[in-house]
Amino acid sequence: MSLLGRASVTGAHHLDGPVGKVVVCNHVGWADPLWLGYAAYPRVLHQMAKKELFESALVAWFVRSGGGFPVDRGRPTPATIRHSIALVEGGALLLIFPAGTRSQEDADTKRGAATIALRAKAHIVPAHFEGPARMRASDLWRRPAIHVAFGSPIVTAAIGASDKETAKRLTAELDAAMKALRSAPPDRN
């Protein structure tokens, strides 16, 4: 990955600790999960990936080897939600793009990440990705700047309730936290 971009990472220490966490991030292109995984390394970021990515055996293998598992974005099954909650309850890091789709603009944040975090009594770590939407062969020469910022965790255990209204309020809070990271200066290591 370091051959394809000049990556800087801030706040990765927020991913550490004994409890599972839900990492929420903006989503601008197909390369985001790869760069977020690189930024979190050596930790593994499990992630929901659209079920269409699992139609090709080669792509499915690649996504699964990076911690991905299929989800029907239009109709997430109870089994997918239970699997997500179990991962987080077991201490894993779960990456969710709460807008549910790639966008260069501010897309509406859906409440699925908040619901999973509330049910698992997990911390939510807001994140922001700044970089190109995809990787190209020319990146070997250009090496574009990539920045991933992880923010302070939002603790959900103290919230208690996991109803729809609480999830909506928490979604608004995590959306604001992700947007605040946009203006965070990159760490120039």
Q: Which string of DSSP letters, residue by residue, matches 106-174?
A: -PPPPSHHHHHHHHHT-EEEEEEEES-SS--TTHHHH--EEEEEE-PPEE-TTT---SHHHHHHHHHHH
Instruction: Check if the beta carbon of residue 102 is closer than 8 Å to that of residue 29.
Output: yes
Say yes or no to pLDDT of 7 above 90: no
**pLDDT computed for residue 189 by the predictor:** 39
**pLDDT mean over 75-95:** 89
- The contacts of residue 17 (CB under 8 Å, 6+ apart) are 123
**pLDDT computed for residue 23 by the predictor:** 95
Say yes or no to pLDDT of 103 above 60: no
What percentage of residues in the chain have a pLDDT greater than 70?
Answer: 83
What percentage of residues in the chain have a pLDDT greater than 90?
Answer: 25
**pLDDT mean over 71-86:** 84
Say yes or no to pLDDT of 182 above 60: yes
Say yes or no to pLDDT of 187 above 80: no
**pLDDT computed for residue 62 by the predictor:** 84
**pLDDT mean over 28-46:** 87
Say yes or no to pLDDT of 129 above 80: yes
- The contacts of residue 105 (CB under 8 Å, 6+ apart) are none
**pLDDT computed for residue 102 by the predictor:** 47
Give, rounded to a whole angstrom, the gap between the first and last alpha carbons of the chain: 16
In the block, which residue shows the tokens 């990556």?
7
What is the rounded distance in angstroms from the CA atom of residue 76 to the CA atom of residue 120? 17
**What DSSP state is assigned to residue 88?**
H
State pTM to two decimals: 0.82
Say yes or no to pLDDT of 104 above 50: no
Q: Is 182 helix (H, G, I), strand (E, B) or coil?
A: helix
